[in-house]
A and B are shown apart, each in its own frame.
Chain A
């Protein structure tokens, strides 16, 4: 019953999405206020229907309703509740429902918060969002019904992949989708601007917060996925250049570029056409990722059920949305005259450089990901493009990007001079050089990590130099505090995000110096690794809700004092007849102490111990980047939209 209601809610959402497309777009073309005004209520209705469908899906998973095929395939009564619920979006059908729900949430937010949006622009944005939602709802209804029944119902579900029972993986997809779908909103703004044939500062002001929010969520989602790979796979890897990882990196790179070029549109009304193209690209890459993961054209661990039928449908959607948007771009783009001149050495110039480098990186990743597939198709050649290609191709782009990242925010708009900027950055450069040399001195001739430390310190100190300059810390220290209070939050956010990347680089550089040790140990024995003594105390049996395990107790000591006690486990899941290893990780500021229990033989247990220097900083940095995005979102410019303040000013003038 609940399942059928959920299915009905999906159908209702589809109809509402169609109405949300047709009425406002038609109304905007005909300048009909009533039709345009229908956009908001329709978007809210559409949101309600999607929420009902998702609620129904959660319900059938929560009660383990085995008459639903999806539950049978992906759930089991012995799973803890969190993973039953996470199972609802851990499969193809359910994740599509989550996708449309998040899209509807974005539409609802545009309708709700966009009171000051020009009516026609708002109607067009909501119309385009409705069109995107309608396509994906149709996809769910036609090819991927999450509520399909099976009769007679089996006694219990089959889905108990223990590798996927993990909090990191439970929240990885929703965050990633928030990012992907957030770019649907910037896409809608870009298409609406093309329909109107106009891009102005106000448009940039509306696009930027959405790009920021989407970017922040995508950053968190990617970081969470990489963190999962790190502690689940457990030999110190955190990024593998897997095609599906690349698919999430592409919209991130395009989104990062969009974020920066939208600033130029907002402040200087330049780079308009380029920004529109980036907005189309960011969402295009998101859809491309969806297509690659779900169609079966590539072979990856992340891939959902591979089904060429579904692939053709998603490809149709991809071609319709992206091809349509690019056609519109080719038609309306040339008419948008370039405005806002600036010299190459200026803030705008710096942001253009940023865009060029980020887009080149995106092109490298795109080519590296797709080339094997196209080589196979066109030349019948099997090639594989692996980490060596990406590492060597991305590094030359990263070096100038990092160098320019610290200097860019210090450049002035329109026309800048290089010398004053370098003058303000000399101590950051000194710090970076010190870090580089110190690393070479302490860790031997390891160029990679040394460069990483240098770049990290350069970015962090560069962000500090930017802030210090803005609050005139050294020129007028007395007034610095009050100036800090008056500094726009966007400036704080930008500095924080740049420093966040520096923190991530610190972690990556530290991981370059990680050490590990593998040995068979008997209880009571100990080994030395990374300046610590690791002592195996005992190995015993343990029981969990749906598994039994062997659990080791490893005491880690430093100078005779206990630092931590680790409990690595090997878990056996009777239902799936499979074994997983649960690494025990002690996270500290200086790095991770990481222990993995292997097989036991003749009273000795094989233990793999890692000292991962600075590892947590990789994800801490991502968190800081996302936090920077969030702080930037609370900027006054965004909270108080320009038209509203103009109106307030007009009212004040009248009074």
Chain B
């Protein structure tokens, strides 16, 4: 290999590092201005009703599934939570869901791309916060909702309009900072 091509080759790591650095800087700037959000795009569904769907219940859960029509004319606001037993952040958010459910907030779960057995085992182990529990095994309804990944939580008011969406685990901070004010506002 000639010296020039050796030289060019040895510049490659620097070039890659600079390009990567510029990309990361763009991401950090984007977080600041809101144009880059690692937790997902702001949902286009905010202020609208959920897309039409009807999902079967999770087998052996003893719960009923639900359809879009049932998310209208509710007695109170409802949280719709996409989750899966294989999702690690779902374990982090689970205590918060359990707490909400103990306080009487209805949480309608949609089990996403999961095996019913695994989902049942997850709930048996960590507790079951869901008032209703549907299963979206092919994940098609999740696509209509624009779900970015699990866990993801939607706040739906009593008219059935999506008011808020959170991609990522519901941490105690999210619970106190977002969900409780929403519950008060739309109670």
Contact = CB atoms under 8 A, between A and B. Distances in A.
Interface in A272-317: 273, 277, 280-281, 284, 291, 295-301, 308, 311-312, 315
Nearest to A516: B121
A377 B168 contact: no
Interface in A308-335: 308, 311-312, 315, 318-319, 322-323, 326-327, 329-330, 333-334
B14 A608 contact: no
Interface in B58-113: 85-86, 88-89, 91-92, 95, 98-99
A334 B3 contact: yes
A578 interface: yes
Interface size on B, as a range, is 35 or more
A7 B17 CA distance: 34
A382 B23 CA distance: 16
A23 to B, nearest CB: 28
Interface stretch (B30-38, B45-53, B157-165): B30-38
A281 B98 CA distance: 44
B10 A382 contact: no
A295 B17 contact: no
Interface stretch (A46-54, A121-129, A229-237): A229-237
Given A334-B3, A599-B128, A608-B125, A295 B14 contact: no
Interface string A575-611: 0111101000000000000001111000000101000
A330 B7 contact: yes
A297 B124 contact: no
A6 B89 CA distance: 35
A240 interface: yes
B25 interface: yes
Could you tell me the dominant secondary structure of chain B's interface residues? Answer: helix
A581 B36 CA distance: 36
A297 B127 contact: no
Interface string B20-32: 1101111110111
Contact of B88 (A233, A322, A333, A608): A233
Interface residues of A, number: 56
A373 B23 CA distance: 9
A537 interface: no
Contacts of A577: 95, 99
Given A237-B86, A579-B127, 6 more contacts: A329-B13, A333-B6, A373-B27, A373-B38, A577-B95, A608-B124
8 contacts: A233-B91, A299-B167, A308-B28, A315-B21, A318-B21, A322-B17, A577-B95, A577-B99
Interface of B: 3, 6-7, 10-11, 13-14, 17-18, 20-21, 23-28, 30-32, 36, 38-41, 85-86, 88-89, 91-92, 95, 98-99, 117-118, 120-128, 148-149, 167-169
Interface of A: 163, 229, 233-235, 237, 240, 242, 273, 277, 280-281, 284, 291, 295-301, 308, 311-312, 315, 318-319, 322-323, 326-327, 329-330, 333-334, 370, 373-374, 376-378, 382, 384, 516, 518, 576-579, 581, 596-599, 606, 608
8 nearest A-B residue pairs (beta carbon): A598-B124, A578-B95, A606-B124, A326-B14, A333-B10, A319-B21, A326-B13, A330-B11
